[in-house]
Structure 1
Amino acid sequence: MANAPHGGILKDLIARDAPRRDELLAESEKLPAILLTERQLCDLELILNGGFSPLEGFLNEKDYNGVVAENRLADGNLWSMPICLDLSKETIDNLGVKPGARITLRDFRDDRNLAILTVDDVYKPDKEREAKEVFGGDPEHPAIVYLNQSVREYYVGGKIEAIDRLMHYDYVGLRYSPAELRLHFDKLGWSRVVAFQTRNPMHRAHRELTVRAARQRQANVLIHPVVGLTKPGDIDHFTRVRVYQALLPRYPNGMAVLGLLPLAMRMGGPREALWHAIIRKNHGATHFIVGRDHAGPGKNSKGEEFYGPYDAQHLVEKYRQELGIEVVEFLEMIYLPDSDEYRPRNEIPEGTRTLNISGTELRKRLKTGADIPEWFSYPEIVRVLRESHPPRSKQGFTVFLTGYQNSGKDAIARALNVTLNQQGGRSVSLLLGETVRHELSSELGFSRADRDKNVGRIAFVASELTKAGSAVIAAPIAPFDAPRQAARKLVEKYGSFYLVHVATPLEYCEKTDKRGIYAKARAGEIQNFTGVNDPYEVPENADLTVDLSKSSVRTIVHQIVLLLEAAGLLDQL
C-alpha cells in the first residue's frame, strides 16, 4: 500500500489483494453472487482503488449510524456520505446473506466477478432519518426520491477483498486510480495541486477561476470531472470529456491535467462537498475548490434552493484542520466587458457593467442555434457542444397517437408520415400498432400486463430513434395512462414527446368499422377488447386532442404540423 498525502494511508484493495487474486477468483465462482447496480458499481470501484479510503467495504450499521449522525465512522475517521450495499429481503433470503457469509460481487454488464464481501451485518436503515440528516429532508431532493423509490429495504455491511478492477472502454488513458494519479504528479514534479470538481461543461469562467486559484497558491490544476452518475438531465460524460480535452490547451503550458472520477454523485450539497474533499485528498490533491452551491441539485417545485449558496463552504471549513487538504473557497466569476476579464463577484465595484449567460440561456442558444459569444466560451468548446446538441430543427421527436380501434389514429399516422417525408430534413419512422404487434410483440396477448409491455417496447424503440434524430410516429391503442406516462418520460430523455389523443367517440368508431371487429367483440369472440370488455383511460395531459368524427385527416395532420412548427422542430425543413 502506498502512502497517501498528508501522512494518511491509501487503502488500495486491488494492490493489497493482488497476490491472492487467483485464489479469490476460484472461491468467488463457488459463492452466491449479487449483480451490482450502476450506482453500486461506482461505489465499489472507488472502494477498491482507494478513492473512498479509509473505507474497506460497504458500511456496517455502526459506521452507517456514525456517518448519518456525525459525519464519522465508528473509529472516529471523518466520512460524510453513507456508502451502503442495499438489497431486497428476497435476495437476502435466497442467497443466505447473514453475518459471516461470503458473497461474490459481480458486474451486471459483463458478469465478471469483481470482489468478495464478508458480511458484518444486515440491517434495516431509518430512511427518514438518513434523508433528513444527510440530504436536508426535502422530499423533492433527487437523492431522497432515489432513497425512497429505488434503494432496497436492507443494507449489508462488510469488508471487501478485491478480485479485479472494473472494465472501462472509454477514455482509458484518463482513468487514473488514486495511486496512479499521485505517481503522475510525482513524475511531473508537482507538490501542490488544486483539484476542480465538475459535472458540467467548462467555459471561460471556469478556466479563469482555476487559473486564479492555482496562481494564488503557486500550484497546478487537476481537472477532475465526475463521469459516473450525476444529476438526471446533465450533459452526457462523452460530450463533457471532449469539452475538457478542448479546454486543456487554453491553460498556461503544463499547468493542468485531466483525470476522470467514476463517482455516483448524490447531489448532497454540504455533505457532498466534504465527501468530495476527502476523495480529492486520496487522489493526491493538496487543495480543493469549493464554489457556490457546491453539488447542489438546484431548486424544488416551489422555486426554493435545497441548500444555501455557501452552506457547503461553511461545512468544509468546520473540518478544515483534520481534512488534510486545503479548501479554496471561490465566489461566482463574473465577466466585465469593459476590461474583457473575469473577476470574483466580491471584487467587482458597485455599478460596474457585467455580462452573464445562465445555464438555461446557454441551453436555449444551443437548441436554437443562436450565437454563443467568445467572452463566454471558446469556439472549440462551442463546436463540441453544438455537435452533441443540434438545433431544434435537427433534433428527434416522437408523436404518440392513442385512441380506440378505428378511431382514425392509423390513418392520421400514415398521413403525417407522408407529410414529414415530403418535407425532408430528417428520417421518419412509423410504428403502427398492428405492425408492432406483428414484428415486436407477436407473443403478447391483450391482458393489461401484456398491453403495458407492448407500449413499453414501443417507447424504447421510439426513444432510441428520437436519440438518433429521427421523427417517430407511434400509433398504438395504449389504453392505460401509466405506460403512456412512462413512454413520455423515457422519450423525453432524448427529445420532445407529443401525446395526441384521437378522441373519436366509441359509437363512431364502432359504426364505421368495416372490418367487423367490434361486432366480433360484442359477440364475445374477442376478449380484452378496448371499449367493449376492457377499459380506456382518457389522457389528462394530452398535448393535442382531435376527433375524426368532427375533423378530416388532412385538418388533423395540419394541426400536428403546426404544433411541431411552434416548437421549432420543423423550422428548417
Structure 2
Amino acid sequence: MNNHAQNLLVHFRHAEEIKAESLSYKSVNLSPRQLFDLELLLSRAYYPLTGYLGRDDFEAVLGSMRLADGTPWPMPVSLDVPAPLGESLTPGDKLALRDQEGFMLAAMTVAEVWPADPVREARAIFDVQDIASHPGARAHVRQTAPFRVSGAVVGLSLPPHVDFPEMRRGPAEVQAVLQQRGWRKVLGCQSDALLHCRHKAMLRQAATDAGASVLLLRAVGDAMAEGAGHFAGIRCARIFADAFPKNLLLLNLLPLPLRTAGPRQALFEALVQKNHGCTHSLVGGRHADPMPPDAPPLYPVGQAQRLVADFADETGIAMVPETPMDYVEEKAQYMPRAQVGPGMTVKHIDAAEFRRRLEFDLDIPDWFTLPEVVAELRAVFPPRSRQGFTLFMTGLSGAGKSTLAKILYVKFMELRTRPVTLLDGDIVRRHLSSELTFTKEHRNLNIARIGFVASEITKNGGIAICAPIAPYASSRNEARSLVAPHGGFVEIHMATPLATCEQRDRKGLYAKARAGIVKGVTGIDDPYEIPEHPEITLDTTNLAPGEAAQEVLLYLEREGYLA
C-alpha cells in the first residue's frame, strides 16, 4: 500500500483472507497505549509512517527528531512486546495484532527485533536525566516491554469505539469536512483538559491572528478505564465547541493521550494536526510541560514555540503562539495579558480552586466557565457530601485497624447516608486473595485488588473501609491512584508502635515470629514503610477505639464528606 492511501486498511475481502491465514501467525494482545498508536497508524494520522519504526529510524528520531532519511518526525512509534514473544520472533515472521479481547485488528511483517532500553529512551524523549523527576518518563520506563519489533502493518479494522462515534473522524474524513466548509486556513489545537472561558477567548484571539478557523482535537483515552471522567470531559468539550459559531470551530476526538514531552510533543502534535488538514498549530509557552502552572516549568518557556517554528518550512505547518488572557473586572471580559493596564482588577480561578468549589458545592462564576459545563460536572461529580470515599488504614498487626474499621462501619450504617463495605485484611485474604502468599509481590497484588474493589465502591457512591497492613508505599500509592479519580481517598496511618502491638499480639503472630516459627512478619523480619503524607495519623497506645473513631469522623466532617 502506498504512502498516499487514505488509510492502511485492506479491502474487507482481503481482510477475511488474512484472518484465515493468521491461524499460523504468532500474536500479541495490545495494551490501551499500543492500541492508540495502532489506530493512528492505520488512519494515517501518523503519515508518512506505514508501520512501526525500524532500529535506524527509531534511533534517528531519538537523536534528531527526524527519520533516518531526514524527514521530520519527533516521536518514536514502536511496538514493544514481552520477552517470550520477542525472543521467539525473527525477520519475516507474521504477527497478529489483537485488542484486549483477542480481536485481530492488523497483521505485521516483522523486519527487526531488538532489546528495548527504556531508561535511555525516556531520557531522550522527555529531555531529562532524572527519570523520577518526570511523570511521562517514569511511565515510559514502567510500561515498556523488554523487546521492540519493527515492520510494515496492514489493517483489518480500526479499534472499535462505541462512545461518541460521530466525533471520531479519521484524518481523511476531517479533511473532507474542512474542504466542504471551504476552510483554507485551519488552526489546530489539541487538549485533554477542561476548557473554560479563558480558553475560548484565547482560541478566538489565535484564530483571528492566523485568519483561520479552528480544528479542536480533544485527546481521549480508554473509555472503560477512565469511566465517568471520560464521558464528562467529552460532553464538556462539546458544550465548549457549541459556544463558537459553527463556521469557526470543528471538534474531533483523537485517541492520543498527552505524554507531557514538552517541545518534542508540540512538534509531534503539529505533524498530527497537519495530517488532519491543519495549516497552523497553536503552541503554548509551556506546551506539554508536566509541571502545574503555579510551579517552575521543567522546559524553558517558549522552547516549544521556537521548535515548531524552526521546523515550519519543512513541515508546512505554521506556529501560532498562544496569547495569555486575563479576565478584567472593569471590562467584564478577557483581554490579552499584555494589554492589562495598571489599576485594572484581574480575576482568576486556578484548577485547584475550581475543583474545591465543585467539591464543596460553592459558587462558580459565569466569567470563569460556561454554566452548562458546571451543570455537567456537578451531575457527574457530586460535592463531597454526596461522593463515595475510601478509608484506607495501614499499620502493623495489632495497631488497631480492624477494631477501628468495625466501629466506623457501625457509625456509617447508623448515619445511613451511603452504602458501606468493610474490606478488612483478614476478610480479604480469606475471600479475595486466598491463593496469595506473603511475598512482597503477592502483598502488592493483594493491595492492588483491595484498591480496585474500593475504587468500584467509591465510584458508585459508597464507603469502602479498608484495613490491611499494606507495608509498602508503592502499593498504597497504587491504591490511591485507583480510587482518587472517583472520589475521596483518606489514608489513615495507625502509628501504634511495634512494642505496643507485640504486647497485644492477639493472634500470637509476633511470638511465633520471635521464635522463628513463621517468617516474613511485618515489623520483625519484613519492613514496614511509614506513610509520608497520610491524611490522618493515629497512635492507639493511649487512644481508646471510640476516640480514634471520633478523630476520623471529625476529619471527614471538616473535609466536607459528612454533611
TM-score normalised to the size of structure 1?
Answer: 0.88
SS in 1 for 2:347: coil
Q: Which amino acid aligns with 2:381?
A: H
Match of 2:86 among 85, 92, 96: 92
Aligned counterpart, 1:123: 114
1:298-355 Cα offsets, whole Å, 9 max, x none, are 259x943111221111111101112222332222122222222222223334553322
Separation of aligned partners in 2, 1:229 and 1:249? 24
SS in 2 for 1:492: helix
Separation of aligned partners in 1, 2:516 and 2:478? 32
Aligned: 1:499 with 2:492: yes
Asked if the contact 1:299/1:306 (under 8 Å) is kept, the reply is: no
Tell me by how many angstroms 1:433 deviates. Answer: 3.0
Aligned counterpart, 1:557: 549
Aligned: 1:12 with 2:7: yes
Asked if the contact 1:404/1:506 (under 8 Å) is kept, the reply is: no
Aligned counterpart, 1:44: 38
Aligned counterpart, 1:134: 125
Q: Which runs of 5+ in 2 are unaligned?
A: none
Separation of aligned partners in 2, 1:198 and 1:98? 39
Aligned counterpart, 1:291: 284
Asked if the contact 1:400/1:473 (under 8 Å) is kept, the reply is: yes
Alpha-carbon distance change, 13 to 565 in structure 1, aligned in 2, over 3 angstroms: same
Asked if the contact 2:404/2:548 (under 8 Å) is kept, the reply is: yes
Separation of aligned partners in 2, 1:216 and 1:479? 56
Alpha-carbon distance change, 394 to 442 in structure 1, aligned in 2, over 3 angstroms: same
Aligned counterpart, 2:75: 81
Q: Which amino acid aligns with 2:244?
A: Y
Q: Which structure 2 residues correspond to residues 110-509 of structure 1 after superposition, within 5 A?
A: 110-124=101-115, 127=118, 129-139=120-130, 140-228=133-221, 236-298=229-291, 303-403=295-395, 407-444=399-436, 450-478=442-470, 482-494=474-486, 495-501=488-494, 503=496
Tell me by how many angstroms 1:262 deviates. Answer: 0.7
Tell me by how many angstroms 1:83 deviates. Answer: 0.9
Tell me by how many angstroms 1:531 deviates. Answer: 7.0
Tell me by how many angstroms 1:59 deviates. Answer: 0.8
Separation of aligned partners in 2, 1:457 and 1:74? 45
Asked if the contact 2:109/2:152 (under 8 Å) is kept, the reply is: yes
Alpha-carbon distance change, 454 to 270 in structure 1, aligned in 2, over 3 angstroms: closer
SS in 1 for 2:355: helix
Separation of aligned partners in 2, 1:485 and 1:245? 33
Separation of aligned partners in 1, 2:65 and 2:227? 28
Alpha-carbon distance change, 520 to 355 in structure 1, aligned in 2, over 3 angstroms: closer
1:493-519 Cα offsets, whole Å, 9 max, x none, are 433231231627566666684xx7569
Asked if the contact 2:396/2:523 (under 8 Å) is kept, the reply is: no
Q: How many residues align?
A: 558
Alpha-carbon distance change, 250 to 543 in structure 1, aligned in 2, over 3 angstroms: closer
Separation of aligned partners in 1, 2:246 and 2:128? 46
Asked if the contact 2:400/2:540 (under 8 Å) is kept, the reply is: yes
Separation of aligned partners in 1, 2:222 and 2:193? 12
Separation of aligned partners in 1, 2:520 and 2:259? 45
Tell me by how many angstroms 1:526 deviates. Answer: 8.0
Larger displacement relative to structure 2 (43-52 or 113-122): 113-122
SS in 2 for 1:537: coil
Q: Percent of aligned pairs with the same residue?
A: 34
SS in 2 for 1:236: helix
Separation of aligned partners in 1, 2:554 and 2:279? 57
Tell me by how many angstroms 1:255 deviates. Answer: 2.6
Separation of aligned partners in 1, 2:107 and 2:479? 38
Aligned counterpart, 1:5: none
Separation of aligned partners in 2, 1:523 and 1:99? 57
Asked if the contact 2:282/2:320 (under 8 Å) is kept, the reply is: yes
Tell me by how many angstroms 1:529 deviates. Answer: 8.4
Asked if the contact 2:358/2:382 (under 8 Å) is kept, the reply is: yes
Asked if the contact 1:194/1:286 (under 8 Å) is kept, the reply is: yes
Alpha-carbon distance change, 144 to 449 in structure 1, aligned in 2, over 3 angstroms: closer
Asked if the contact 2:437/2:443 (under 8 Å) is kept, the reply is: yes
Asked if the contact 2:396/2:494 (under 8 Å) is kept, the reply is: no
Aligned: 1:26 with 2:44: no
Q: Which runs of 5+ in 1 are unaligned?
A: 3-7
1:434-488 Cα offsets, whole Å, 9 max, x none, are 3323432344455655544333322221122123332221223445555444434
TM-score normalised to the size of structure 2?
Answer: 0.89
Query: What is the CA RMSD across the aligned residues, in angstroms?
Result: 3.3
Tell me by how many angstroms 1:135 deviates. Answer: 1.8
Aligned counterpart, 2:530: 539
1:254-311 Cα offsets, whole Å, 9 max, x none, are 43221100113221111111111111111122222222312221259x9431112211
